[in-house]
Every structure is written in C-alpha cells, then in structure tokens.
Amino acid sequence: MLKPIIEAHRGYSAQYPENTLCAFRQAIAVGAPSIELDVHASADGEIVVMHDASVDRTSNGKGAIAQMKLAELKKLDVGAWKGPEFAGERIPTLGEALALSDTSNVAFNVEIKAFSSTKVVERLVALLHEHAPRGGSHVVSSFDVNALLQVRAVDSGVPLCILGGNAAKILHQAEEMDFPWIHSHFSTVNGDVVAAAHAQGRRVMIWTMDKPALFQHYVRLGVDKVCTNCPAEMLAAQ
C-alpha cells in the first residue's frame, strides 16, 4: 500500500501559530514533505499568508487584509495569540514562505482564499516558479473555481486542486475542468470516490485529519495526500 503524502495544515498548526514561518519551519523539522497555507492580497497587491480575511482572530490588530497595506500588516504580532513564547512572529508574505523550499525542498499547497486581480495572480505564479522545489512543484488549491481558472489562464502548467466539502461533487467538477486533484473534507471520501478519481487519473487529498486511527482507515482507502494539523503524529502513524 502506498503511503500518502503528509501535508501540514497551516504548518504544524496544532502546536505552533498557524500560517507563520515558525509553524512552517517546525513542519519541515518533523519531516513533513508538504505544507498547506492560505493566501490573501493586501491593499497594495502583496500576497500574504493568513487564513481569515480579517486579521482579528490571529493577530493583535483589527481589520480586513484587503484594506491594509503590507507595511501595516507587518507591524502585527501573529504569534502571541497562540502563546507568549510565540510573540514577535510576523505575517509572512507568500515569497517568504515559499523561500523555505529553496533549502528544504518542501512543497507547498497554496490555497487562494480571495483575490481577483490578474496582476496578483501573475505575481503568485511568478513566486511559484522562483521557489519551485527541486524535482517537483507546488500546487494551488481553492474552493473558488474561478480563482483556479485564473491561475490556469496565466500558466496552464500549475497543478490545480479543487477544494470542497463533498468529494463526489468536486470530482465531477474536476472531471469537467480537468483539475488533477480533489481536496475534500475526509467525511465524504470513501472507497468508491477514491477508485473513481484514480480511474480518471486524478488524486485525492483529505482534510483535516488529526486522529491516527481514522488516518489508517483513509490510508487503506488509498488516498494520496492527508492534510493535518499534527504532521509529526500522522507521520508516526504511517
């Protein structure tokens, strides 16, 4: 049985502040071959790494990322909310995050949360090339099909992953639009979906899986990638 790729969801986010360089470095340190992160565009068109559209939950500031410039975002502390020992962490730009693959060869799954400007999409694609892992490539995922199609319009070679809560539904969309990956909530993934995806030459990622016993079940189903907040534990459970 093939082992799935273990992907650290927002970095090693169970123990470290999500979507920070600290959480990414810790994921690399425990041997995760892949890291998922979420991106938004700032008011001045820089691509920054954060899950929510506003900075309120994971920083000491308030406001919408889309209305803040990079310089303003960089002043925020994005570590202290998780624990005082993480104080001083700054919001990473996508370039700073992807640069970790220059020395570690880790691959990133860049999840586009929201942006629509072609200029920003072109910047994202340029960064993916600038920091491509040796012998592989980063992937781009989104719940928003249009965001994926925008990436394809800029560079048809970027591996695209459609995200959704219903595996059968997104497999259908993936077939229609020829996306190589479906990224689905684990609860809707079963043996039939995995077999159908594989028969089409597509691959299946499940999120977010933090329970070793359940993890084994999905390994037996043959899923290709497992996105987890606990990469060390899932690597140990393989």
Tell me: does residue 207 bind ligand G3P (CB under 6 A): yes
- Least separation, in Å, of the C-beta of 191 and Mg ion? 25
Contact 179, 173 (CB under 8 A): yes
Considering beta carbons, is residue 37 or 69 the nearer one to Mg ion?
37
* Cα–Cα distance, 228 to 153 (Å, whole number): 30
Considering beta carbons, is residue 89 or 111 the nearer one to ligand G3P?
111
Residue nearest to ligand G3P (CB): 207
For residue 141, the partner it binds in ligand G3P, Mg ion, none, with Cβ less than 5 to 8 A by kind, is ligand G3P
Residues 139-158 that bind ligand G3P (CB under 6 A): 141
- Least separation, in Å, of the C-beta of 5 and ligand G3P? 13
Q: What share of the chain is helix, strand, coil (3-state, %, to 5)?
A: 40, 20, 40
Residues 108-127 that bind ligand G3P (CB under 6 A): 111
Tell me: does residue 89 bind Mg ion (CB under 5 A): no
* Cα–Cα distance, 59 to 53 (Å, whole number): 12
Structure tokens at 92: 């990473």
Residues contacting 82, CB < 8 A, separation 6+: 16, 17, 18
Tell me: does residue 163 bind ligand G3P (CB under 6 A): yes
The tally of CA atoms less than 13 A away on the side-chain side of residue 103 is: 8
| Other CB atoms within 10 Å distance of the CB of residue 132 | 15
Beta bridge partners of 203: 181
Q: How far apart are the first and last CA of the chain?
A: 11
Tell me: does residue 36 bind ligand G3P (CB under 6 A): yes
Counted residue by residue, the chain has a size of: 238
* Cα–Cα distance, 14 to 88 (Å, whole number): 19
Tell me: does residue 40 bind ligand G3P (CB under 6 A): no
- Least separation, in Å, of the C-beta of 177 and ligand G3P? 18
Residues 99-128 that bind Mg ion (CB under 5 A): 111
Tell me: does residue 224 bind Mg ion (CB under 5 A): no
Tell me: does residue 38 bind Mg ion (CB under 5 A): yes
Considering beta carbons, is residue 35 or 134 the nearer one to ligand G3P?
35
Considering beta carbons, is residue 38 or 46 the nearer one to Mg ion?
38
Name the helix (H) or strand (E) containing 181. strand 181-185
Q: By the criterion CB under 5 A, which residues form the site for Mg ion?
A: 38, 111
Q: By the criterion CB under 6 A, which residues form the site for ligand G3P?
A: 9, 36, 38, 51, 111, 141, 163, 183, 207, 227
